[in-house]
Structure 1
């Protein structure tokens, strides 16, 4: 079944219906609603202490509970962890992973996750470094948040920064699994006036399509 899904998806990408399919199955909400818990979190305040404007969005995907592997919903944390593994080991991250591997993999980054095998089996505990570009900064039963924008070896406030949250939870009322990828991209260095995030509109749009692809391909890992 997984091979059939991939064949279908790759074929779909070659047709004019690809964008419509991704948009329908993986809608993006931007900006984030004021009620989003990230705004009042210690994590956000610690990484964006000046409250600088952020490029912000959340990509959401819903899957019927009947299509999800039952062993993933029997224990708290397993669903979110498996979705996280799907994000990093899935097809959606392959090109970026190979680029970063060629550019930054070496003795000084040997403890980072690099291979598909590592990315598909890691427990993604706090402090895990991913391909010299992401660091797990929080792990809960329903989500895993990584810091992004620069090498995790740079722990200071920096011009390019951000938080990326991978979430998965069961909606019992709707009998669905809700998956989401929340992005907050900002400069944490200094104080910046205004309300617009650092990405120009064309780059923000590309980022949202990238999130849709990540969400779609990562979700395959959860299916029966």
Structure 2
């Protein structure tokens, strides 16, 4: 086998092994339970004013409590904040960040977060905008809620709209931390008669693998 073919073969095996690891260590729940807190949240009720069917899921990753960086467990809210920083500054978001920066970064978006350093150090207070595609709506000690789907400069109803919820919750009974990335996408500019969410099935599947990669890369930020 030539060196080039051997290198390609090794790369394919490595990528397949990594994706296998990501799939085995994360869980996708779709659709979201009917009693999920997002359905009664102000962000959802005010955002999806037409009650259009959403594309909905949550990606969960459980991490043993003793694997979490101990300094993140001393003050309430530090773990969830660090996970949020890990999502946006992590390796999995780098390609999308670079694409958005090339397309939208400029004078009109100068107040937004763009660089890895900015995304890695922000406190993600409500009103924070990043990469001209996300805006923090609310923040609690266990989660950060962001609006997604279009530029935060478009504050009104959108053809592409949605919410992301980044969460970190301690499960004391199992001595684990549950890291979560919840997605709920919908159109908010008009009533949609279709019973399906805005994403076709193939795009849903790609989105869920992207969620797995985002939460996996972010988990490296909060573990030791």
TM-score normalised over the length of structure 2: 0.93
Contact 1:50 1:190 in 2 (8 A): yes
For residue 195 of structure 1, report the CA deviation from its aligned partner.
2.6
Aligned to 2:204: 204
Partner-residue secondary structure (3-state), 2:16? coil
Aligned to 2:90: 90
User: Mean Cα displacement is larger for which, 131-140 or 16-25?
Assistant: 16-25
Aligned to 2:184: 184
In our comparison, the structure showing a higher alpha carbon Rg is 2
Aligned to 2:81: 81
In the TM superposition, what whole-angstrom CA distance separates every residue of 1:137-173 from its partner, at most 9, and x where no partner exists? 0101100011000000000001000000000011111
Residues 157-176 of structure 1 correspond to what in structure 2 (within 5 A)?
Answer: 157-176=157-176
For residue 21 of structure 1, report the CA deviation from its aligned partner.
1.6
Answering whether residue 15 of structure 2 is matched by residue 22 of structure 1, we say: no
For residue 40 of structure 1, report the CA deviation from its aligned partner.
1.1
For residue 196 of structure 1, report the CA deviation from its aligned partner.
1.0
Partner-residue secondary structure (3-state), 1:16? helix
Aligned to 1:4: none
State the alpha-carbon separation in 2 of the partners of residues 20 and 14 from structure 1: 10
Task: Point out 4+ residue stretches in structure 1 off by more than 2 angstroms.
Answer: 11-20
* Aligned length in residues: 214
State the alpha-carbon separation in 2 of the partners of residues 207 and 216 from structure 1: 14
Aligned to 1:66: 66
For residue 122 of structure 1, report the CA deviation from its aligned partner.
0.1
Change beyond 3 A, Cα 1:13–1:129: farther
What's the C-alpha RMSD, in Å, of the aligned pairs?
Answer: 1.2
Q: For structure 1, list consecutive stretches of 5 or more residues without a partner in the other structure.
A: 1-10
Aligned to 2:56: 56
Contact 1:12 1:18 in 2 (8 A): no
TM-score normalised over the length of structure 1: 0.93
In the TM superposition, what whole-angstrom CA distance separates every residue of 1:93-124 from its partner, at most 9, and x where no partner exists? 00000000111000110010000000000000
Answering whether residue 202 of structure 2 is matched by residue 214 of structure 1, we say: no
State the alpha-carbon separation in 1 of the partners of residues 126 and 13 from structure 2: 35
